[in-house]
């Protein structure tokens, strides 16, 4: 079925997905990588629960939600998707989201580590959010704090995540993505969540293994 369902058009999402996949392939080729090294996550913070079947029909399989309550509701209603948590992680929300997600992208506090130690399982995997740009007031640990933070982690750390400063020019993000890749390599970490709708191609060129794309998929 194609057409309009609760405001999200299946054909629009399909076209958006095709365009994004083509850009991933092109960026990966430029970097000497295979496109299968990059996983596409559809950010659904602004997509209502009722529209999620449209995304599945369009071919999306991995979704990321920013808010714990919305994640619980959406993942409960739509277990056909794989789910990641991509928002700023509050320690009091850890227990709530763990049953629904295969990966948390945004761990950056000792209080969150404490809750992960209480409620995590051997299957629990996280990414540590790093403020590579040193932005004041921005979430993420300082790069210099990473070795000690990794030692304190009570669950498996698969890699790192970052959100560079917003810039109109995607090239402005390149040095921050490169810095995260260098940091991950130095600690033997393989998963890198970096790059969003406006700069994911640059992120792929710099080693992203997970990109978080929203508006580019939905026709905006």
Residuewise pLDDT in 10s, the chain (220 residues) = 343 435 678 999 999 999 999 999 999 999 999 999 999 999 999 999 999 999 999 999 999 999 999 999 999 999 999 999 999 999 999 999 999 999 999 999 999 999 999 999 999 999 999 999 988 888 899 999 999 999 999 999 999 999 999 888 999 999 999 999 999 999 999 999 999 999 999 999 999 999 999 999 997 5
Nearest to 194 by CA among 175, 169, 168: 175
Contact (Cβ atoms closer than 8 angstroms) between residue 106 and residue 66: no
How far apart CA 207 and CA 76 sit, in angstroms, is: 33
| Distant-in-sequence, close-in-space partners of 131: CB < 8 Å, separation ≥ 6 | 108, 138, 139, 140, 141, 142, 143, 162
pLDDT at 4: 40
Three-state DSSP class for residue 22? helix
The predicted pLDDT at position 167 comes to 87
pLDDT at position 33 is 96
Q: How far apart are CA 89 and CA 86, in angstroms?
A: 8
Signed CA dihedral, 77, 129, 131, 149: sign only: positive
Tally of CB atoms within 10 A around 108: 22
* pLDDT in the model for residue 137: 80
pTM value surpassing 0.85: yes
Furthest CA-CA distance within the chain: 51
Give residue 3's pLDDT: 39
Which domains does the chain carry? 4-217 (3.20.20.10)
């Amino acid at each position: 079925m194609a057409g309009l369902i609760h405001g999200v058009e299946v054909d629009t999402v399909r076209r958006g997905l095709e365009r994004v996949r083509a850009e991933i392939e092109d960026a990966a080729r430029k970097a000497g990588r295979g496109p299968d090294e990059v996983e596409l996550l559809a950010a659904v913070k602004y997509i209502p629960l009722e529209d999620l079947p449209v995304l599945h029909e369009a071919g999306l399989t991995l979704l990321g939600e920013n808010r714990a309550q919305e994640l619980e509701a959406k993942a409960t209603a739509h277990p056909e998707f794989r789910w990641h948590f991509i928002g700023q992680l509050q320690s009091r929300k850890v227990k709530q989201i763990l049953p629904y997600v295969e990966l948390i992208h945004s761990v950056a506090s000792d209080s969150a580590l404490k809750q992960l130690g209480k409620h995590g399982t051997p299957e629990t995997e996280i990414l540590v959010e790093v403020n590579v740009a040193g932005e004041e007031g921005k979430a993420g640990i300082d790069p210099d704090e990473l070795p000690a933070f990794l030692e304190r982690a009570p669950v498996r750390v698969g890699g790192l995540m970052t959100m560079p400063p917003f810039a109109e020019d995607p090239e402005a993000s390149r040095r921050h993505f490169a810095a995260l890749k260098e940091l991950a390599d130095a600690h033997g970490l393989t998963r890198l969540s970096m790059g969003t709708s406006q700069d994911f191609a640059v992120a792929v060129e710099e080693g992203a293994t997970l990109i978080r794309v929203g508006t580019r998929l939905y026709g905006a």
